Amino acid sequence: MNTASWLGAVSNALVAEAPKGTFWLPPAASTTAHNTDNLFYFIFYLSLFFFVVIMAAMVAFAVRYRRRKHGEKTADIHGHRNLEIAWSVIPGILLMVIFFWGFTGFMDLAVPPANALDIRVTGQKWVWAFDYPEGINSNELVVPAGKPVRLTMSSKDVIHSFYVPDFRIKRDVLPNRYTVLWFEAPNPGEHNVFCTEYCGAQHSGMLTKVKVLAQADYDAWIASGGGLGQGLSPVELGQKLFQSKGCVACHSVDGKPMVGPSLKDIYGHEVELADGTKVMADDNYIRQSLMDPASQVVKGFAPVMPTFKGMLKDQEVNALIDYLKTLSAEPGAH
């Protein structure tokens, strides 16, 4: 690691480390991020250096050895042993440095510390879900600061990819197989999570946050059952869930159809299904649509909604129904 850490120190000196991020990279907010950044900067500046040297030599040679008279010949050169050794050995050493540095960094990222906190990550079109050892589930990743976290990830449908740019971690999330990621965020803060594997119409909306809390705040969050509905009325909780559970990726609340029908003026109205039958959108219809969406596909829409069975508590289903009532011009009619 001596060579690597020495080179790391050099590249640190080349780029002032601003906590706000640099021109090239977002803030480095995990314990492994700096090593990744240093290697990136090392390769970047090394490439820049050789680009400048090679381009300058090319221009200089083109000017100096330009053919000035017809029939003019250059010297007959058969080789230059020292020069050939230099241009083989120096790049060879540089490549070994990059390999060694990258490999040790890869190993650090591939092997989670034994004392890591275990959180399960589930990707599905188009929402992330996180399950905690205490039985809590949430749609934002909440973690304690200064503690390693191991994410065991899988998908319910297609391939997604879990990416936290501030932590410099990214890994595919696959159906029928587990993948693992780990990180440790030393300081409290909020960081963006992106899906970086094209997974369908709302791929770009498959966003969430990592919330890093001080240990005491994290313990309080766990003790409160993940802060479910605290201090919120059922309608407010429903509105919050509508965002956090990803409903908003497919359903508008202003009447515009998206991947799924708009939910404006649905509650208390008749809905025409794909088979031509009409049903009343009441509490039971909404509950059924959440638990078994394929059973009641609305006419004109594809049956792409995932089931929320096991992902929503009764209290949450009730809150969503109460929220949908407020979107209807005749709440509670019929």
**Nearest-approach distance from CB 129 to ligand CUA, in angstroms:** 12
Nearer to ligand CUA (CB atom), residue 27 or residue 306: 306
Cβ–Cβ < 8 Å for 283, 321: yes
Nearer to ligand CUA (CB atom), residue 248 or residue 266: 248
**Nearest-approach distance from CB 208 to ligand CUA, in angstroms:** 11
**Nearest-approach distance from CB 171 to ligand CUA, in angstroms:** 13
Is residue 121 a contact point for ligand CUA (CB under 6 A)? no
Is residue 305 a contact point for ligand CUA (CB under 6 A)? no
Distances in Å between the Cα of 249 and the Cα atoms of 13, 103, 127, 206, 262 are: 44, 39, 8, 8, 11
**Nearest-approach distance from CB 126 to ligand CUA, in angstroms:** 6
Site for ligand CUA in 190-219 (CB under 6 A): 195, 197-199, 203, 206
Cα–Cα nearest to 124, from 170, 84, 166, 175: 175
Instruction: List, edge to edge, every strand of the sheet that includes 141-144.
Output: 141-144, 208-213, 189-195, 160-164, 169-173
Is residue 245 a contact point for ligand CUA (CB under 6 A)? no
Is residue 39 a contact point for ligand CUA (CB under 6 A)? no
Helices (H), 249-313: 283-291
Query: 308-332 burial, b if ≥16 CB within 10 A, otherwise e?
Result: beebbeeebbbbbbbbbbebbeeee
Nearer to ligand CUA (CB atom), residue 100 or residue 198: 198
End-to-end CA distance of the chain: 73
Give me the 148-167 binding string for ligand CUA, x by CB under 6 A, dash otherwise: ------------x-------
Interface residues toward ligand CUA, by CB under 6 A: 123, 126, 160, 195, 197-199, 203, 206
